Structure 1
Amino acid sequence: MKHPVKTSLLTALVLVFGTASADPMYPSDAEGFHGYLRAGAGSTTADGGGPQSCYGLGGNTMKYRLGNECDAYTEFGYTKAIAKSGDVTYMATLWVNAFAPTSDFGDRKVGIVKAYVEAQGLDFLAGGTAWVGKRFYYRPDIHMLDMQYINMNGTGAGLDRIGNVGPGKFSYAFFKDNDITVTDPVTKVVSTQSAVRQNFIYGEIPVNQNGTLDLAASYIVGQGKDNDAFGPKHNGWQVSAFHRQSKVFGGGNTFGVQYGVGPGVGGAGNGQMGASGSTSFGSDVKRTRVFNDMAIQPLDHFGMEFVALWQKDESNATGSSTWTTVGVRPVYALTNNFKLVAELGTDRVTQPNGLPAKRLTKITFAPTISAGPGLWSRPELRAFVTYGKWNDAATASVNAANNSGPVYNNNTSGTSYGFQVETWF
């Protein structure tokens, strides 16, 4: 029995990144009310039960997310065309979000994550866009890992998708990151970790049939005095190249190479390069990453995501560590609205000074009610069982990375179970 695919892969990717553009790399918000939600409830067999527990190595790694998200998160907002002048449309966007490290949002603080205005279709930019404000910007991800391998979000201004500059399109953005000054009321010492960040993208370059190349770079200048509470300030940078191949077994493939220095390595524990990391990072702090992410839909009732990633982090203070991970998420639809989803991922992280490598393998089985049979069909209402297994070298890291605390003690395995909803709209 064949099942109609209600949402194509491209359309789903567009929704994931909150964009109305034909290319999900450039997240211009579509008019209307849109958002994202994940929430659920679960428990664990560890330590006699208790809050849902998750399996990850923490540090500079990311965990496989199916049946392994112990938090709750939502973001939503509205975009409206507020003016039109000739062929130019002015769009205003306002979004809020809320995050809880547990299953209950409770009275968690709501924050503003988007507040910006765009002028779309400017003739002097050959159809490009100008914008000012706070926004999501150039933030594709590896869905299974919830890892935005490049993320240029922030508050600033930019010119996007300028045409007539060769085979591709050029974008430039200026951001001010960590724009906070700390004053000690006693000593009057003023400190800051603020930085000025400039992002450059030359993308949508056709390189082969159904294949395009994006080149992205960030240059970060640390601000403030070298003798303040946060210590010396450093500049940094990153360069990235992404090859995107469409029409691969009904889906697509992304291959990426990235290199960052100093603040250009991005934040710890989120995998994001492109935005400013700590300006205390000097030129000895480096990150190199190579990955391949494939999402395919060869049959109406069968889809799959596969990821392989290698990342090396270096610094004089902590030495060198390499994270290697491989994972797969197959999705098989039994009916138009019921599918079986599984996810298997394995991680290995080397340690300096000859210490043994940390290893973790996580597997999840999740019967799922879904809006369609496709890999990206949402909403999904899931029941899940997750099993994690790790070696002795990883025990401390698994306990430290778990939202429920060190419930695994000296054990090297655990099981969790529960229910979760995920949707974007």
Structure 2
Amino acid sequence: MKQKMLAKAVGIALVMAPLASQAAVENIQYFGYAKWGNIYTDNDDHNNGKGERNDVIRASEGYGNYRLGNELNWWEAGLKADVWQDGDAYFDTTLYLGSGESWGDVSIIQMWSAGHGLFASQPNAKVWAGERFYRRHEVHMIDIKYWDTSSTGIGIEDWDLGFGSGHIAWMAPNSSADGRSLHNIDARISDIAISDTADLTFGLNYIFTQNSSYEESDITTSGAMLSALYRQAWDYGSNTFAFQYGTNALAGGLMSAEGGSNRKYSTGVEHDGYSWRVFNSGDLNVNEDFQVMYSIAYQDKNLDNNDGEKWFSVGARPQYSWTDYMATALEVGYETVEAQNGAGTNDMYKVTVAQMFQAGKGVWARPSLRIFATYSEKNDEWNRGGDTYGTAMRNASGKDSVDEVTFGFNVETWW
């Protein structure tokens, strides 16, 4: 194991060395994100009774999770550098590394280059290609990226349309159902100003399989999704409202989350139907010392095979700063998932209190060092038998209820 870790470290160093050593490299920017710590539980059924949780608390068959005191370990770090320039035209390259839940599990998660200033009439536009986290939108508190097309791709973005910025991309993800290669055409218009403090974003995604020759005639091979975002800022904080409507292979949405990433692209299964969802989230600054982060979300996924569900999530995280560097937060979250075929309803609620030492006041101050305790209760009435796209079935034992106390510590930081 140590030899494998050493080999990975050497390989990563060799990859990054040219960017750091070439004389032509300029304007190097470093950035990253990390969350790391331990969560302990009083429930011996978790993780074979080892005393630690190795998964997050959420409603079974749901999507997000209320993340305060309830998130798995992860770090990512990278750099971007200008590697060539000729007058106003230049190319940069981004290299980004990320981990799994152990230090030795490291891989390259982004590697892409962009050309800037290539069009005389469009000085802000750029052409890009590679593996990229592409223009993701998320609700931080419930750890959901609800519009996430991250994958290998090529595109043009930041094209000035006069009333907004245009973006077009051809992405190449894999189907989350059968691993088959997909084509994802992503078209967006962002930064449509409707006031000095508010703007709109609209987008359309269309996916289809590279090889649509399935033996079954009713297998889903394509899908589309429409997205609309309204962002508003004011003296007391900010709010984002998002509406999405997806069909067939995108009926599950383009969500990356603890319960959603394996349902992003559902080709290769019988999955025709539609879904619509709303996310409303933001932060409220009551005064200098007291802020509240909040989120409400709902999705209605209605499928022809009756295997959809209705998902609802609501929660808030008020936080009070005792000094410039110490704060206390209380997060309360509730989530429920109702099976379309009437198999039952799963729900979960959790309450977490955290004492934090952080770099300044406010809900977005980072780094944040935390010690926390959580009480949660889950009630499960149905499941899919371990199959992502399986039929919803009522639990043989009826309602399974679990209440649990967890506690621990972690750090969250970004730069």
- The answer to whether the superposition gives a TM-score over 0.5 is yes
CA contact (8 A) 1:234 1:282 kept: no
The change in CA–CA distance for 1:321 and 1:392 in structure 2 (over 3 A counts) is: closer
Residue aligning to 2:316? 328
Would you say how many aligned residue pairs link Structure 1 and Structure 2? 368
Alpha-carbon distance in 1 for matches of 2:372, 2:408: 6
Alignment of structure 1 residues 242-281 onto 2, 5 Å: 242-249=229-236, 251-264=237-250, 265-266=252-253, 270=257, 277-281=265-269
CA contact (8 A) 1:297 1:303 kept: yes
CA offsets, 1:25-62, max 9 Å, x none? xxxxx942211111101211112761126321242421
The change in CA–CA distance for 1:225 and 1:137 in structure 2 (over 3 A counts) is: closer
Residue aligning to 2:157? 160
Matched, 1:285 2:282: no
Residue aligning to 2:145? 148
Counting aligned pairs with the same residue, the percent is 28
**Root-mean-square deviation (CA), in Å?**
2.9
Residue aligning to 1:64? 66
CA offsets, 1:332-377, max 9 Å, x none? 1111111101110011211234344222111100001101112111
Alignment of structure 1 residues 193-342 onto 2, 5 Å: 193-227=180-214, 232=219, 234-249=221-236, 251-264=237-250, 265-266=252-253, 270=257, 277-281=265-269, 284-342=272-330
The change in CA–CA distance for 1:292 and 1:410 in structure 2 (over 3 A counts) is: closer
Q: What is the DSSP-based 3-state SS (H/G/I as helix, E as strand, rest coil) of the residue aligned with 1:220?
A: strand
Correspondence for 2:165 among 149, 169, 179 = 169
The change in CA–CA distance for 1:153 and 1:288 in structure 2 (over 3 A counts) is: same
The change in CA–CA distance for 1:140 and 1:95 in structure 2 (over 3 A counts) is: same
Alpha-carbon distance in 1 for matches of 2:76, 2:319: 26
CA offsets, 1:76-133, max 9 Å, x none? 1111111222222321110111112xxxx1532x221111111223434352111111
Shift of residue 299, structure 1, vs aligned partner: 2.3
Higher relative contact order (CA 8 A, sep 6+): 1
Residue type of the alignment partner of 2:203: A
Correspondence for 1:178 among 163, 174, 179 = 174
Alpha-carbon distance in 1 for matches of 2:270, 2:226: 17
Alpha-carbon distance in 2 for matches of 1:43, 1:282: 40
The change in CA–CA distance for 1:128 and 1:268 in structure 2 (over 3 A counts) is: closer
The change in CA–CA distance for 1:135 and 1:392 in structure 2 (over 3 A counts) is: closer
Alpha-carbon distance in 2 for matches of 1:268, 1:201: 17
Alpha-carbon distance in 2 for matches of 1:200, 1:281: 26
Residue type of the alignment partner of 1:238: M
Q: What is the DSSP-based 3-state SS (H/G/I as helix, E as strand, rest coil) of the residue aligned with 2:317?
A: strand
The change in CA–CA distance for 1:345 and 1:424 in structure 2 (over 3 A counts) is: same
CA contact (8 A) 1:225 1:232 kept: no
The change in CA–CA distance for 1:230 and 1:72 in structure 2 (over 3 A counts) is: farther
* TM-score normalised by length of structure 1: 0.79
Alpha-carbon distance in 2 for matches of 1:196, 1:400: 25
CA contact (8 A) 1:226 1:232 kept: no
Q: What is the DSSP-based 3-state SS (H/G/I as helix, E as strand, rest coil) of the residue aligned with 1:390?
A: strand
Residue type of the alignment partner of 2:70: N
CA offsets, 1:149-202, max 9 Å, x none? 101211111111101x2311111011112299xxxxxxxxxx861111110011
CA contact (8 A) 2:220 2:271 kept: no
Q: What is the DSSP-based 3-state SS (H/G/I as helix, E as strand, rest coil) of the residue aligned with 1:64?
A: coil
Shift of residue 209, structure 1, vs aligned partner: 4.3
Residue aligning to 2:91? 90
Correspondence for 2:406 among 406, 412, 416 = 416
Q: What is the DSSP-based 3-state SS (H/G/I as helix, E as strand, rest coil) of the residue aligned with 2:244?
A: strand
CA contact (8 A) 1:193 1:223 kept: yes
CA contact (8 A) 1:197 1:276 kept: no
Correspondence for 1:112 among 108, 115, 120 = 108
Alpha-carbon distance in 1 for matches of 2:61, 2:99: 23
CA contact (8 A) 1:148 1:272 kept: no
Q: What is the DSSP-based 3-state SS (H/G/I as helix, E as strand, rest coil) of the residue aligned with 1:177?
A: coil
Alpha-carbon distance in 2 for matches of 1:87, 1:254: 35
* TM-score normalised by length of structure 2: 0.81
Residue type of the alignment partner of 1:414: E
Correspondence for 2:331 among 332, 338, 343 = 343
Alpha-carbon distance in 2 for matches of 1:118, 1:238: 27
Gap regions ≥5 residues in structure 1 = 1-29, 181-190, 402-408
Gap regions ≥5 residues in structure 2 = 1-26, 389-398
Shift of residue 210, structure 1, vs aligned partner: 1.4
Shift of residue 244, structure 1, vs aligned partner: 0.4
Residue aligning to 1:375? 363
Alpha-carbon distance in 1 for matches of 2:316, 2:352: 11
CA contact (8 A) 2:175 2:181 kept: yes
The change in CA–CA distance for 1:366 and 1:238 in structure 2 (over 3 A counts) is: same
The change in CA–CA distance for 1:45 and 1:60 in structure 2 (over 3 A counts) is: closer
CA contact (8 A) 2:37 2:411 kept: yes
Alpha-carbon distance in 2 for matches of 1:78, 1:126: 23
Matched, 1:54 2:61: no
